[in-house]
């Protein structure tokens, strides 16, 4: 009998699944990396595990320390799960407005974290979608102040932590192995940028012609365009800024509306049996646009970032 010594060993190595009904009429195929099958239901389990273990190895995170982070939910949940399991106190500043924030708050509290809810007034209307890179800023200010004040506080800094990108390079390597290295295009929503950058670096190393596309909601107030600078400070920029300015890495950033993302998410649930979240629906919308330009035998790969259980009360495109 084969057993695992810890639930942490269940992180990663997620299946790659072909879409069938929502791609009807297309010559090319779309494959989805089912990251919602990770233990807490999102790809951020990879990121949280890598950030924590790297920080421990580097002596930045020690027994008795408190882990803090600003999160729209998924990274916060993963840090709550892994941090608590490893014996740390975890404090998350949850920054998604309205009922969505409350839903995610209960998930994090269930794993043992202390959760502080922040609801930025300028993002109360979720109908335009929510860009995680912007909405997390109030929580990041608090995390920065806590880190400066207390030597036993470790801020995970997901938006700028290189371990975020390194964790997602594993996702890219899995995709290469699962596809035999044949990937014409890759699509992912941009939150911190870790998934898109990590996977893109691996795929582009294998084949520079692989098209890499990022997806964002129209509610983004700051431009994300390859080759153009993105604001950088102690609380913003990080991975996104580096990714956008790296020559030849990201080919395009497209906008997906909240309505398009939600509608596709519900189709994935009902027509494909894939119970993923709204950012995953946005990814498929973008993937379909690309697939329409491709021929038979070609493929687009995208990511099912998180589980639909975060979107039962209300559904919006949150990156």
Give the per-residue pLDDT at 95.
87
Q: How does residue 213 score in pLDDT terms, banded at 50, 70 and 90?
A: very high
13-68 residue pLDDT tens = 999 999 999 999 999 999 999 999 999 999 999 999 999 999 999 999 999 999 99
Give the per-residue pLDDT at 119.
75
Please pick, among 42, 78, 189, 279, the residue that the annotation labels catalytic.
279
Please pick, among 44, 104, 105, 169, the residue that the annotation labels catalytic.
44
Question: Is position 42 annotated as part of the catalytic site?
Answer: no
Does position 124 have pLDDT exceeding 60, yes or no? Answer: no
Q: In this predicted model, which residue has the larger pLDDT, 55 or 4? A: 55
102-113 residue pLDDT tens = 888 999 999 999
Q: Hunting for tokens 């992912």 — which residue is that?
A: 188
Helix (H, G, I), strand (E, B) or coil at 190: coil
Give the per-residue pLDDT at 35.
98
Give the per-residue pLDDT at 122.
55
Mean pLDDT, residues 146-174: 98
Query: Cα separation of 258 and 179, whole Å?
Result: 30
Q: In this predicted model, which residue has the larger pLDDT, 180 or 131? A: 180
Task: Tell me the percentage of the chain whose pLDDT exceeds 90.
Answer: 84
Give the per-residue pLDDT at 177.
98
Mean pLDDT, residues 297-319: 93
- 28-37, 144-153, 218-227: range with lowest mean pLDDT: 218-227
Q: Name the β-bridge partners of 30.
A: 300
Query: Cα separation of 246 and 207, whole Å?
Result: 16
For 104-132, letters b (16+ CB in 10 Å) and e give bbebbeebebebeebebeebeebebbbbb
Q: Which tokens is 272 given?
A: 């494909």
Does position 227 have pLDDT exceeding 80, yes or no? Answer: yes
Q: Which CATH architecture has domain 44-155?
A: 3-Layer(aba) Sandwich (3.40)
Question: Is position 279 annotated as part of the catalytic site?
Answer: yes
* Mean confidence (pLDDT) of the chain: 94
Does position 131 have pLDDT exceeding 90, yes or no? Answer: no
Largest CA distance in the chain: 58
Mean pLDDT, residues 111-140: 80
Query: Would you call 25 exposed, middle or buried from its count of C-beta atoms within 10 A (0-12, 13-18, 19+)?
Result: exposed
> What are the residue ranges of CATH 3.40.50.1100 in the chain?
7-42+162-311, 44-155
Give the per-residue pLDDT at 145.
97
243-286 residue pLDDT tens = 999 999 999 999 999 999 999 999 999 999 999 999 999 999 99
Does position 127 have pLDDT exceeding 80, yes or no? Answer: no
Q: Which CATH architecture has domain 7-42+162-311?
A: 3-Layer(aba) Sandwich (3.40)
Give the per-residue pLDDT at 121.
63
Query: Cα separation of 48 and 73, whole Å?
Result: 12
């Amino acid at each position: 009998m084969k057993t695992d010594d810890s639930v942490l060993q269940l992180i990663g190595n997620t299946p790659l699944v072909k879409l069938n009904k929502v791609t009807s009429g297309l010559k090319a195929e779309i494959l989805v990396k089912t990251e919602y099958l990770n233990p807490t239901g999102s790809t951020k389990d990879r990121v949280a595990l890598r950030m924590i273990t790297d920080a421990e190895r580097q002596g930045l995170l020690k027994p008795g320390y408190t882990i803090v982070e600003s999160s729209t939910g998924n990274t916060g949940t993963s840090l709550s799960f892994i941090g608590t399991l490893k014996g740390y106190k975890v404090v998350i500043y949850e920054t998604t407005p309205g009922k969505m924030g409350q839903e995610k708050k209960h998930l994090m509290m269930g794993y043992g974290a202390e959760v502080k809810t922040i609801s930025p007034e300028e993002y109360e209307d979720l109908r335009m979608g929510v860009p995680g890179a912007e909405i997390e800023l109030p929580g990041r200010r608090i995390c920065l102040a806590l880190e400066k004040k207390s030597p036993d506080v470790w801020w995970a800094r997901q938006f700028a932590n290189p371990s975020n990108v390194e964790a997602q390079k594993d996702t890219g390597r899995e995709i290469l192995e699962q596809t035999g290295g044949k990937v014409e295009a890759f699509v992912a929503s941009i939150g911190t940028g870790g998934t898109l950058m990590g996977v893109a670096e691996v795929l582009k190393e294998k084949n520079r012609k692989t098209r890499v596309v990022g997806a964002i909601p129209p509610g983004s107030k700051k431009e994300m365009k390859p080759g153009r600078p993105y604001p950088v400070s102690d609380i913003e920029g990080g991975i996104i800024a580096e990714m956008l300015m790296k020559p030849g890495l990201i080919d395009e950033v497209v906008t997906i509306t909240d309505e398009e993302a939600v509608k596709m998410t519900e189709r994935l649930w009902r027509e494909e049996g894939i119970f993923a979240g709204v950012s995953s629906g946005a990814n498929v919308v973008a993937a379909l646009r690309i697939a329409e330009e491709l021929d038979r035998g070609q493929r687009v790969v995208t990511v099912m970032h998180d589980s639909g259980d975060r979107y039962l009360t209300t559904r919006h495109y949150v990156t």
